[in-house]
Amino acid sequence: MKRKAVVINRSLKPEELEQVLQLAKECPVFVLDSRLEFPFEVSEVELEAIRKKELNYGLLSRLLVLGDKKIKGKRVAGYFDFGSGNVWYYHKFRTYFYIRNLFYELEKLEKVRENFNQVLFYCDGRFRELSGAIPGIDFISAKTQSDPINFKVLFNYLLFFVFRSLKGFFHSGKGVEKILVEAEKRSPVLDLQSLKSTKGNYLSDYLLENSGEQIAVFSEIGVPKFRGSGRFPLYSSFFSGRRKRAPKFFIEHLLIRGLLSIEVLKKAKEKQKEIEESYNKLITHSDDLFEKLVFMHYKKLHAATCFFILKNLAFVQFFEKRKIKAVLASDENSPAIKSILDAARFCKVVTVGLQHGTMHDLHPAYLYTAEDKERKVMADFTLVWGDYWKNFLVQKGNFREESVKVVGQVRTDIIPRLKNGARYIEGVPSGQKIIVFASQPQRDPELRRRAAFDVFASVSALNNAFLVVKLHPNEFHDVDYYKKIAEEAECRNYLLDLSTDLYLLISQCSLLITCFSTVGTETVYFKKPLIILDHLAQDIQGYKKEGVAFQATSQQELKQTIEGILAGNLLIKEELQKRFIEKYAFQIDGKVSERILAFLDEIN
């Protein structure tokens, strides 16, 4: 007699719930997500931390070398090349995390299948293509319901796009020689002179403050989601013609010019069709499940691919008609920016990437193969914070050594001016020791929730401390998510912070907690106690190894470490912090912007 089991990873429709209620009387029911609740007994399938770690590294390694693999005599990356750019590198980062999370669930599913002849898997739409692919598993997928169109967001974006496009006809970028392409962000930034918090971009504000007219800004605003409950506010700064002292131009104008060009549209359509045909060839000629899932995911992203190809060709048209010497960008490996840098390099314009965050062995955006190096798919130059990052890019990322320059971290230019005097943090009771938790929208939802819960629970019983949760900019709509977790942890001595400048918070805190954020590195710059909440014990950023942070792998360890630091029993050696700064940030001397501008002066 066959042994049968039911596995669930989504909410069930009423008729499905009735089916499973009957099945639960005769076979066990398992769930892959602890947040799922049903009116019958279920068992959660968990994945051991060591196995997750193995999957993290193994899947990334496979994805990196897949681009070099030959299928029918042609490299995989070659199938995605469209002349002035390459789609393979646009979606590599996004694809890795999608595939990784998918394999987490497949691994859990396999644990159940080992003990049963037949598994009924009530799954979400991600598994639809796997029907019949794994013996013994019946995939019962549900079609994902689309959120309703958000007409307010749609109207605001159309208004924004039309106005910026029209304004661009009067400011087309003539006479510009050096360009900074940036995603326009509105985050708290301390003014260099007044030390007051303003809205700006902490990755570039201090550079632009010192550049004058030397650099022009090409403003990039991401296309919002037109479904669901999101927002797209129309800030006046979006329409301003200047960023600090630098002139600002609007990318939307260049996209419109591309759309009005018959030549650009014709070429874009040809290239988009070629790429679309490549998906089917690769899916058909691959027998490996991992490879098929990767190619299927690229196919799902084809609408975004079409946009990036059109954007790239519109910028090729622009660069061919201008005498641009250099294009700079932070987040230079994201498709929105990389499509522009590819166009610049195709037109023989020097491309420069500015390090915007920490890099590590599990960061797909900065890891390339030796063959990628030969094809020179990276920016011509990458300006990094310190020697460690240069060595990482050269030794692990396969960057050319001569292309990586050490200059320091732009944001640290404020630190010499940010003295250690006490400053009021709005919402924090006076006399309390401030604990900062720098949250992150982790790709693993289980670890993300566990990290938040452990922090709230560890601080809840402290009488002399107050927790400030510094939300990541991509989490500004997740306030209710964190409030609910805080309530479950019975924590009331906390504040969810959306507006205080990060460096101001660090300068005033007694300790900072994060998982693997760049904020950890920046905390060391201020010589503050740092705790890395690292449930998988991976030490991805090497903070523990360098001796500049305490590592906590559980709630109990976190609580004990917090108490030890606040009591003065746990201390970080200052000489290790100093060595770390020299290695990772070069110098905290307020002159990083000057070094970048001097480098740009050498480009002819």
Residues 113 and 179 in one domain: no
Bridging pattern class, strands 246-250 and 242-243: antiparallel
Residues 169 and 136 in one domain: no
Residues of the chain under the 70 pLDDT cut = 1-2, 171-174, 419-422, 604
> How far lies 581's CA from each of 223, 357, 509, in Å?
37, 15, 19
Instruction: Confirm whether 241 is domain-assigned.
Output: yes
- Taking 3-state DSSP, the helix, strand and coil percentages for the chain, each rounded to the nearest 5, stand at 45, 15, 40
Who's near 594: CB < 8 A, 6+ residues apart?
A: 210
Instruction: Confirm whether 262 is domain-assigned.
Output: no
Pick from 315, 223, 222, 302: nearest CA to 267: 315
Residues 577 and 500 in one domain: yes
Residues 66 and 184 in one domain: no
Instruction: Confirm whether 204 is domain-assigned.
Output: yes
* Cβ atoms 291, 570 nearer than 8 A: no
Domain boundary among 256, 276, 294: 256
Continuous segment of H or E residues that includes residue 31:
strand 29-31
Show the tokens assigned to 438. 């720098």
Instruction: Confirm whether 560 is domain-assigned.
Output: yes
Specify the CATH number for the domain of residue 567: 3.40.50.2000
Domain that holds residue 210: 156-192+200-256
How many domains, in total, are found in the chain?
A: 3
| 197: helix, strand or coil | strand
Instruction: Confirm whether 363 is domain-assigned.
Output: no
Angle CA 8–9–10, to nearest 5 = 100
Domain boundary among 241, 256, 271: 256
Instruction: Confirm whether 12 is domain-assigned.
Output: yes
The pLDDT of residue 419: 64
Bridging pattern class, strands 29-31 and 43-44: parallel
Residues 136 and 231 in one domain: no
Residues 436 and 560 in one domain: yes
Instruction: Confirm whether 44 is domain-assigned.
Output: yes
Who's near 527: CB < 8 A, 6+ residues apart?
A: 572, 574, 577
Residues 105 and 186 in one domain: no
Residues 226 and 127 in one domain: no
Pick from 69, 127, 75: nearest CA to 98: 127
| 48: helix, strand or coil | coil
Residues 103 and 245 in one domain: no
Edge-to-edge order in the sheet of strand 216-220: 242-243, 246-250, 216-220, 178-183, 326-330, 350-354, 381-384, 404-406
Instruction: Confirm whether 96 is domain-assigned.
Output: yes
- Which value, in Å, is the radius of gyration of the alpha carbons in the chain? 25
Residues 11 and 46 in one domain: yes
Residues 455 and 574 in one domain: yes
Question: What is the C-alpha to C-alpha distance for residues 500 and 519, in angstroms, rounded to an integer?
Answer: 14
Residues 184 and 122 in one domain: no
The pLDDT of residue 1: 43
| 360: helix, strand or coil | coil
Angle CA 44–46–51, to nearest 5 = 170
